[in-house]
Amino acid sequence: MKVESVSFAALTFLALLSAASFAQDRASPVAVPAQAPPSAARQAAPAAAQRSGAPAGLLIGAGDLLDVGMYGMPDFKAEVRVNSGGEISLPMLGTVLVGGLPVEKAGRLIERQLIQMQLFNDPHIMVFVKEYATQGISVLGEVQKVGIYPLLGSKTLYDAISAAGGTTPKAGKYVLITHRNDPQHSIRVPLSTGAPESIENNVPIEPGDTIVVSKAGLVYVVGNVRQPGGFVMENDRAITVLQALALAQGAGPNAALNAAKLIRKTPAGPEEVPLPLKKILAAKAPDLQLQPDDIVFVPGSAGMSAAKRGAEAALQMATGVAIWRIP
């Protein structure tokens, strides 16, 4: 009977102590610094859910819409837009400068300021980018429809080119990609038509990127030809001397084929190479491949031009005599 009384008294004391502890917890002020979530729970949270919302290397800019929250604290949540100065306004913390930072560093900055102001002991901030001010991807150069395309989500280079209607026949062999957060350095990506190379070169792109499709090279045919001018090497395909001459609609009637020249740019300056055009036309010499910016010069024959001018003058004189002859 005595043991039962002691046990009953101990149980009663423990019950009163628990009730007092519960009442003390209920009376604690809300401003007490929140404890960090258990380490096991933090490790169990997915890495992408801790501080994500932007592709690697993408920085927060003016006009972006951010979703800022704290793990385990549903009351600490704000959807804020970055102002022109790169600042956001958060509850209990005030103004925070996050412009030019990745979302990971922005989250750490907010955590440090919360600790410095003694609002929380070990906060865990999550920052998500809900909307980019410059979500559009600019596609320029040799594409069918130059413009800005709002490609959201995970996209690749060929997605952007397809949105612009594909490349033109004047497109070159490479593409320049410039990221919004690093405008001084462009990435050069080969533009290939082969299946394995196309898959390898189909790199991911980010919101705000600028894509410029290069222009194919030009070759020039000048001198005594029927239609002198510059001609595009479509899709940067190599063309030969005869193909370039065909684009110029052939040599003129007074062309000196044996005196033709190929003028090519070199690091030391323009270089002139004799071009046996007459032999090439007769298939007695190899048809040379041209490089971008090559110039094929076909001079005129002075003797043939003088003879032709003399014949034209005699014909005009005879015509004049026939018209003004007195019967």
Segment 187-246, tens digit of pLDDT: 999 887 666 667 788 899 887 889 999 988 889 999 889 999 888 887 667 789 999 999
What pLDDT does 101 receive? 86
In the chain the domains, ranked by start, together with CATH numbers, are 39-131 (3.30.1950.10), 137-215 (3.10.560.10), 218-304 (3.10.560.10)
Segment 245-277, tens digit of pLDDT: 999 998 888 888 888 999 998 888 888 889 989
Pairing of strands 229-232, 137-141: unpaired
Does residue 55 surpass a pLDDT of 70?
Answer: no
Confidence of residue 109 (pLDDT cuts 50, 70, 90): very high
Measure Cα distances from 282 to 221, 253, 259, 287, 294 in Å.
19, 17, 15, 10, 22
Segment 7-24, tens digit of pLDDT: 444 444 444 444 444 344
From CA 234, how far away is CA 268, in angstroms rounded?
28
Give the up-direction half-sphere exposure of residue 304: CA atoms within 13 A in the CB hemisphere.
10
What pLDDT does 234 receive? 73
Tell me how many degrees the CA angle 139-101-213 measures, rounded to the nearest 5: 15
Average pLDDT over residues 277-285: 89
From CA 297, how far away is CA 64, in angstroms rounded?
57
- In terms of Cα–Cα distance, which of 251, 248, 254, 247 is closest to 309? 254
Does residue 49 surpass a pLDDT of 50?
Answer: no
The DSSP call for residue 164 is: T
